[in-house]
Structure 1
Amino acid sequence: MAPNDQTLGNNELGAWRIFSLFMLLLQKGPLPSAEIYTAIYSDLSTDSALRTFSRDRAVLKQLGFAITEVKTGKEKSFYLSDSNFFDSSYDLSPEDANQLLVICSAVLTDTTFVYQEKLRNALSKIVGNFYSSDSGKPDSKKLSASSQSKVFPVLYESLSSKQLVNVTYTNSQDQIKQKRLGVLDFFVSQGLLYFVGQDFSSGTESASIKTFRIDRVLDAAILKDEHFSIPKAFNSNDYNLLDFQLGSQAGTLVAFVPKNILAAFEHFSQGQGDVELLSNGALWTVAYAHENTALSWILAHGLIPRFPESLLAKWKESLSEVANGR
């Protein structure tokens, strides 16, 4: 069945037939086999129509659209199930959702990008719907997830419009604080989404730049006509910290990096700290906020701590427990 009576080659005719079958099932369904054969395969014999329809179904299945058959009386009917239109294996993971937001943040702050607002709205819906889905989540996490779906678009509006945002935030001590922030950037660490914000809560002259976890934001609202500007010396890489660095600095650690993992270390250390190359590896000096988290990070990545003594003692204890099977 060629469009507009055009003459098509075999490949073109096959493609057009498959497309016609897809569109027919997309608009109606379930459709009896007789109606499908009349509409799509009328120029073929009964046996040829059966074989061709079977091949066309296989092609559509390869494209991600399986045709389901049901028995309706003495005749079979066919339809495209709604489940065909989204493969759950491609569902967003928490890491995917966070990375999507971070990747797009540069475009969202580019005033020359004419679809800035539309992209921001689309991201709010895509990622917001992901975080607001309560299925399979314990009750303790549902409030946080719902809250995130509401605050994402507000924080992005602050980032793109350079307007201050009033944030209700729960800190690491579970204290609820009200803050006036200017959102400067977003980043991901250990699967969690953070944002960098300039804190104007105590006045603009002493505004400090801090990192905040998005899942700790309970509410956010744009403060109309209260604008801020990004500091000239601001560099987002200075705030894209490792998980054990997030928080108030508690000290500085020194760790030995074996030579055989130096290449990998350059990747997973994210450029944090200072590196002194040695003949057999390197010494890494970096600030930390949480000693136990730093220990877990060092153990996971195969580093050997040298300082502080408390961290070295915990590291030796951990290795002893592993050696003794505890």
Structure 2
Amino acid sequence: MAPNNQTLGNNELGAWRIFSLFMLLIQKGPLPSAEIYAAIYSDLSTDSALRTFSRDRTVLKQLGFAITEVKTGKEKSFYLSDSNFFNSSYDLSPEDANQLLVICSAILTDATFVYQEELRNALSKIVGNFYSLESGKSDSQKLSASSQNKVFPVLYESLSSKQLVNITYTNSQDLVKQKHLGVLDFFVSQRLLYFVAQDFSSGTESASIKTFRVDRVLDAAILKNESFSIPEEFDSKDYKLLDFQLGLQADTLTAFVPKNILAAFEHFSQGQGDVELLSNGALWTVTYAHEDTALSWILAHGLIPRSPESLLAKWKGSLSEVANGC
């Protein structure tokens, strides 16, 4: 059941199938098993369908959604249990939110998924509100939950429908501006939700690609009949920056990566920067916008800075404080 005849990996197929099952049951119920198998598991044999459905029920239960079965004649029917629709003990962690976004962004951009609107609304309440609450703003600066819930699905609609969106945006200098954007992707950094978009505000055809924070969007509305297309050279990895890279470039950092953490480094560096392999490790060169944040990041991940001098001095000062018990 790969969408648009795409070849998906087992994890992607599993995520697609489980979401489809959930959205099917949330719309109707109780549903006879034959109807569920025909809608979700039609590409499997009877035995495989039974086993896969059982595994999918277990996954949904672990996520807090219990599926109850009832006997209707000779056949069993299934529905989402009202008594335990969501178990509040399953708190949404930052890791959960990240995974949810990665899975859903692929589904919400696929025109064959018939529950896009329902899923966007659910995400706006679950994920959007989660990140608005996790932002580092003071209470007076935070967007209300209702505002966050309103803008999140609109931004997702721009991503999935390829229509421009008009937003009211507060930048890092607290200036409020109107922008016409085409949303290209979402990503998470330091528990904050960002989106990458083409900025058509200047009215030129060659729109620049920029990164924006979702919790800075005050209002959003789709511009009907104003569509955009993804640039051929666009690669989302170029814009899914590490937290210390977000903002105007200040300088370039070079750091030594010990050999024993190279495998982990490949994961947490997210492909950013340039890597020169050495016999005892690697040299990593990457631009940064915030020096203190970059210093905290390399300290947390066990890297040793080589340049620039200003960051190297701060690193030595941090080590000295630790050695002196400060």
Same fold judged by TM-score > 0.5? yes
Larger Rg: 1
Paired with 2:119 and 2:292, the residues of 1 have a C-alpha distance of: 40
CA contact (8 A) 2:142 2:215 kept: no
CA contact (8 A) 1:255 1:285 kept: yes
User: Per-residue deviation at 1:94?
Assistant: 4.6
User: Per-residue deviation at 1:129?
Assistant: 6.0
SS in 2 for 1:140: coil
Tell me which residue corresponds to 1:293. Answer: 293
Identity of paired residues, percent? 86
User: Per-residue deviation at 1:120?
Assistant: 2.4
Tell me which residue corresponds to 1:277. Answer: 277
CA contact (8 A) 2:124 2:148 kept: no
- Over 3 Å counting, the alpha-carbon distance change for 1:302 and 1:154 in structure 2 is same
**Structure 1 stretches lacking a partner, 5+ long:** 1-62, 66-81
Paired with 2:132 and 2:234, the residues of 1 have a C-alpha distance of: 32
SS in 2 for 1:253: strand
Paired with 1:103 and 1:217, the residues of 2 have a C-alpha distance of: 23
- Over 3 Å counting, the alpha-carbon distance change for 1:324 and 1:249 in structure 2 is same
CA contact (8 A) 1:190 1:243 kept: yes
SS in 1 for 2:89: helix
User: Per-residue deviation at 1:167?
Assistant: 1.0
1:178 and 2:178 aligned: yes
Paired with 1:270 and 1:320, the residues of 2 have a C-alpha distance of: 30
SS in 2 for 1:215: helix
Superposition CA RMSD, Å? 2.7
- Over 3 Å counting, the alpha-carbon distance change for 1:83 and 1:320 in structure 2 is farther
- Over 3 Å counting, the alpha-carbon distance change for 1:233 and 1:133 in structure 2 is closer
User: Per-residue deviation at 1:113?
Assistant: 2.7
Structure 2-normalised TM-score? Answer: 0.69
User: Per-residue deviation at 1:290?
Assistant: 1.1
Paired with 2:245 and 2:138, the residues of 1 have a C-alpha distance of: 29
Paired with 1:280 and 1:101, the residues of 2 have a C-alpha distance of: 37
Query: Could you tell me which amino acid in structure 2 is paired with residue 283 of structure 1?
Result: L
Query: Could you tell me which amino acid in structure 2 is paired with residue 244 of structure 1?
Result: F
1:6-45, CA deviations, whole angstroms, 9 ceiling, x for partnerless residues? xxxxxxxxxxxxxxxxxxxxxxxxxxxxxxxxxxxxxxxx
Tell me which residue corresponds to 2:232. Answer: 232
Tell me which residue corresponds to 1:160. Answer: 160
Tell me which residue corresponds to 1:121. Answer: 121
- Over 3 Å counting, the alpha-carbon distance change for 1:246 and 1:133 in structure 2 is closer
User: Per-residue deviation at 1:102?
Assistant: 3.2
Tell me which residue corresponds to 2:150. Answer: 150
Paired with 2:84 and 2:117, the residues of 1 have a C-alpha distance of: 30
Query: Could you tell me which amino acid in structure 2 is paired with residue 252 of structure 1?
Result: T
- Over 3 Å counting, the alpha-carbon distance change for 1:132 and 1:317 in structure 2 is closer
**Structure 2 stretches lacking a partner, 5+ long:** 1-63, 67-81
Moved more, 155-164 or 83-92: 83-92
User: Per-residue deviation at 1:125?
Assistant: 4.0
Counting only pairs closer than 5 Å after superposition, residues 3-82 of structure 1 correspond to structure 2 as none
Paired with 1:113 and 1:215, the residues of 2 have a C-alpha distance of: 27
Tell me which residue corresponds to 2:108. Answer: 108
CA contact (8 A) 1:145 1:215 kept: no
Tell me which residue corresponds to 1:197. Answer: 197
Paired with 2:85 and 2:113, the residues of 1 have a C-alpha distance of: 30
Tell me which residue corresponds to 1:14. Answer: none
